[in-house]
Structure 1
Amino acid sequence: MLVSMLNNLARLNTDAIAYMRVAEYWSSGNLGFAVNGYWGPMLSWLMVPFLWLGVEPLLAGKLAMLISGAIFFHGSLFLVRSVGLRLVDELIVAWVLALTIPGWMSNHVTPDLLVAGLMAFALGQAVSRDWLANRRRAFGTGATWGLAYLAKAVALPVGVVVSVLLALCWRLGQAENRQAAWRQLGVSLGLLALVAAPWITVLSLKYDKPTFSTSGPIAHAIVGPGNDRPAPHPFGSTIYQPEPGRVTAWEDPSRMGYDYWSPFASGENFSHQLSLIGQNAKTVFQFLAVFDGLGALLGWFGVGTLVFGLALFAKRPWAKNWLADRWRWMVIPLICLGGIYLPVYVMPVDLRYFYLFLPLIMIL
């Protein structure tokens, strides 16, 4: 991973500029510019210690991606161990990740590897054999989901829904200790809220309304009726003068002139939303297939789609046997992560949103 980082220092995306600029604001104490609802703060926070040491922002950004890759690697292996797979399975996953992560961490400076790794750690805690009886597991689950939210806001709704559904699996599969599932769920959600609340409070004060992120509404705005593909962000299609002290308005696009819309405002809007969900579902389904060579060749069918389908089956009685195998529960975060993006727009180049699919598919 280090060699890949050093060989791709000049490889950047537009988001990278924003994250590095936000990191510079954090490092200099310019909180007015640093706090924003579009970019999760954690990736920029990882850059700050390097900036304090005099490291150039470009290298600091790449070092943050190196750390993100390490978190994703170890989080994925922790998840493999937690579901009860064998050592040989863990070694296979480690080998695949070692071949894959260097390319992913070199392509972009984004929080996608970081949030995927933190999600993997949270899932590993939530499906550990002793989750029902160990309060620390519940604390770890909630706290790690909270950290994942600070990396990328999408982890907040995904974390809440996945936590509830996994607790339901524990509740239905453990007849002798069913009440413990809801108690542990309460602890997990409480810790998630405790970690996330300060940042949500800061954003709500800045934007004068309850806000946990501005990225979701913006992502929905650019795919409104009349846009077969996402409309360009205003910073890329119009001339914007950044605030004094900023390099680009892309550092916080939250107050730009987006055309927000509601699917319930008219029948046409609702029909457009349903069409959008259908198109995105096809793209996400294709992402399941392209994690192996066969899927990349055939487009729709591959190892990923095959194991996803097989994981839904179990011997009779189906419910009892399905719930007894904790590795099967990985279909839940896979569906939730894929589903959260359906109302907006998922392009074929957006594979980075679904890095967590790789360890989940290999477990299944």
Structure 2
Amino acid sequence: MRKKMVTNALPIALLAFAIFFILLFPLYRFVFDQDSIGYSAVAERVASGNFFKSINGLWSPLSSWLVVPLIKLGIDPILGFKYVNGFTGLLLLISTWYLLKKFSITDHLKAVIIYTCVPVFLSYCFYELCADFLLLLLFTLYLIQVCSNDFFTNNKRQFICAVIAVFAYLSKAYFFPFFLAHFTIINFYYYKRSIDINKAKRYVQNLFIGFITFFTLISPWIYALSKKYHYLTYSNAGKYNAYLHLHPGTEYTKLLLGPPYPDAYNSWDDPWLPFMQHFSPFSSASTIFLQIKLFFLNIISSIPFFSEISFLSIAIIAAVLFLWLSKTSVIKIPENIFVCAITSILMPAGYFLFHLETRFIWILSILSLIMGSYLITAAFGRFRFSSLQKIFVTAVFVASFIIYPLLSLKNNVYNGKEAYAIANSLKKGNVKGKIMSNHLNPEQYTLLLMASVIAKNQFYNYSRGSFSTADIEAAIKEFGIDYYLFSYTRELEKENFLTSTLCKNAALVNTDLYPGIVVVKLK
């Protein structure tokens, strides 16, 4: 039985993932996050034939494009993304298995890794509507090429690597600068390790193949983005984040941010504003200093994110680097394991400039599993361990990777369900049109935003956190707001609001539509 669990590890893992995905699906049926507004809007516009309006500088298109056929079959876009995630999870298990074959790890530990990946990938799959899960699959396919022994000398692998990078970029724009840096550095590392007398020529040739292929294939999308936004760009995400994190204040003077198009539901469809184009982290000495400060603060604050991957992840990366640098090490680090360590360092580096989340570095779960398993394999072969000690070491290693994913699955049960309940109440109450809400707290505000979008209403965001009642009343007139949603947690808040000028001048005040929400019809 144990032998079959090892020899048939991949099919068993695939079957387990498929079964658990189907069984758990009702618990995560309602998962819907703020970013989903943009991705689902792109998918719906492409499905309706409005390709130009679907072009978006913030929301990379590949995830949305994959959902388009499902929308055309009549499937709800939100469900469509979840189905794509499930299929992505199966492909990710397969690609991870083939990546494992590139390393000197025992068959037993390979089986342990692939089984460990099942709950890890399930948690990623249900985490958000379309977070970085598709990128994780493409990244793994990319690493299969990079971690091959003949990568440096094989033109075909260089070409395939660049093609995969194109899809990875279309999945998330961050892969554009990452590929340029990573591909150059990894080829340089192999160049330094090569004993070929023509290695310099080979290095230049590899960069030529990779970059020419990459830029040729992405050029139509670059052209489309640049044509829409009227400046040469591969993405608006970098400038958008730079503006949010580094710009002192905002140049937008109105209180509300409305949908960018008449058929859009929220400004999150495309939050780009033209004046953001002219801002740069190098605009002034103060912004340069702020950027440097933010970079180092993000490095320090990233420790919990690495721990959510595994509480051993930082130690594993550090151990590989130490053993590689140590000339007298009893455990030798092969080239492809060191490539994993380089990748683990480079991947989060760009995010340190502005903002980092655990999902941005999900690839480290696979890389750390591989590096850790190699270290365990080498240690078991070099030092004497009893059977009980081997079981204990392996169990602690596996537990470090599945603790947070299991907690994430637990915490996300029925996440988003309340937004659907509010949306249904809005539909039943015939609440339709332009909506804004009180700025109670970020979680409640996001909940009302999600509910309004699900109900196909236009929801107007606040552009700043400080404003007066007079500002709200002026904005209602300026933007022609139809409904004001007041969210409260205490009865006293409700009573005070019902005596406000806004309620007194309203066409209708409904306190019974949904618990904790007062719906004010303004006209």
Q: How far apart, in 2, do the equivalents of 1:84 and 1:206 lie?
A: 49
| Residue-by-residue CA offset, 1:46-92 (whole Å, 9 max, x unaligned) | 10111111111121121122233334333333332234444333222
Q: Is the 8 A contact 2:102 2:148 kept in 1?
A: yes
Match of 1:223 in 2: 245
CA contact (8 A) 1:79 1:124 kept: yes
The CA distance in 2 between the partners of 1:204 and 1:31, in whole Å, is 15
Partner of residue 63, structure 1: 83
Corresponding residue of 2:121: 101
Corresponding residue for residue 315 of structure 2: 306
What is the CA deviation profile of residues 260-287 of structure 1, one whole-angstrom value per residue up to 9, with x for unaligned ones?
7434333322221111001111123332
Conserved? CA contact 1:4–1:106, under 8 Å: no
Q: Residue 267 of structure 1 corresponds to which residue in structure 2? A: 285
Paired residues for 1:1-364 under 5 Å: 1-176=21-196, 178=199, 179-224=201-246, 238-255=256-273, 258=276, 261-292=279-310, 295=311, 303-313=312-322, 314=324, 317=327, 324-346=334-356, 350-364=357-371
Residues 90 and 140 of structure 1: is their aligned pair in 2 closer, same or farther, counting only changes over 3 Å? farther
User: 1:100-143 CA deviation, whole Å, 9 max, x = no partner?
Assistant: 11122112012401112211211211221222343321121110
TM-aligned CA deviation for residue 184 of structure 1 = 2.8
For 2:30 and 2:87, locate their aligned partners in 1 and report how far apart those are by CA, in whole Å.
18
Distance 1:333 1:60, change over 3 A: same
Supply the AA of the counterpart residue of 1:116.
Answer: L
Residues 316 and 336 from structure 1, CA distance in 2 versus in 1: closer, same or farther, beyond 3 angstroms?
Answer: closer
3-state secondary structure, aligned to 1:40: coil
User: How many angstroms does 1:146 deviate by?
Assistant: 0.8
| SS state at 1:312 partner | helix
Q: Compare CA radii of gyration and give the structure with the larger one.
A: 2
Q: Distance in 1 between matches of 2:328 and 2:49?
A: 56
CA–CA distance in 1 between the matches of 2:326 and 2:345?
A: 24
| 8 Å Cα contact 1:51/1:57 also seen in 2 | yes
Give TM-score, length-normalised by structure 2.
Answer: 0.61
Kindly provide the CA deviation profile for residues 229-288 of structure 1, in whole angstroms up to 9, marking residues without a partner as x: xx9xx8xx7241442122222111123665974343333222211110011111233322
| Cross-structure match for 1:299 | none
Shift of 1:361: 1.1
- Structure 1 pair 213/239, CA: closer, same or farther in 2 (3 Å)? closer
User: Which amino acid letter does the alignment assign opposite residue 349 of structure 2?
Assistant: G
> Aligned partner of 1:340: which letter?
G
Comparing 136-145 with 252-261, greater Cα deviation is found at: 252-261
Q: CA deviation at 1:150?
A: 0.4
Any idea what the Cα deviations from partners look like across 1:176-207, whole Å, max 9, x if unmatched?
26243432332222222222221111111111
Q: Give the stretch that moved more between structures: 252-261 or 328-337.
A: 252-261
The AA in structure 1 aligned to 2:74 is G
C-alpha displacement of 1:41: 0.5
Q: Give the TM-score, by structure 1 length.
A: 0.86
Aligned length: 345
Code of the aligned partner of 1:57: P
2:283 & 2:246 partners in 1: Cα distance? Answer: 12
Distance 1:84 1:37, change over 3 A: farther
After superposition, the Cα gap between the structure-2 partners of 1:283 and 1:74, relative to the gap in structure 1 and judged at 3 Å, is farther
Which residue type is aligned with residue 214 of structure 1?
N
What SS is found at the alignment partner of 1:341? helix
Equivalents in 1 of 2:237, 2:190: separation in Å?
Answer: 33
How far, CA to CA, are the matches of 1:247 and 1:209 in structure 2? 26
Aligned equivalents of 2:333, 2:127: Cα separation in 1: 38
Give ranges in structure 2 of 5+ residues lacking alignment: 1-20, 372-523
Aligned partner letter, 1:114: L
CA contact (8 A) 2:239 2:276 kept: no
CA deviation profile, 1:292-322 (whole Å, cap 9, x unmatched): 3xx3xxxxxxx11111111112376489x97
> Once the 2 structures are TM-superposed, how far is the Cα of residue 335 of structure 1 from its aligned partner?
1.4
Structure 1: which 5+ runs fail to align? 296-302
Give, in whole Å, the separation in 2 of the partners of 1:276 and 1:268.
12
Task: Return the alpha-carbon distance in structure 1 between the equivalents of residues 321 and 328 of structure 2.
Answer: 9
What is the aligned-residue RMSD (CA, Å)?
2.6
Change (3 A) 1:113 1:212: same
Q: Does the Cα contact within 8 Å between 1:173 and 1:323 map onto a contact in 2?
A: no
Q: CA deviation digits over 1:135-190, x for unaligned, max 9?
A: 32112111001110000000111111111111112111121262434323322222
The answer on whether the counterparts of 1:5 and 1:102 sit within 8 Å (CA) in structure 2 is no
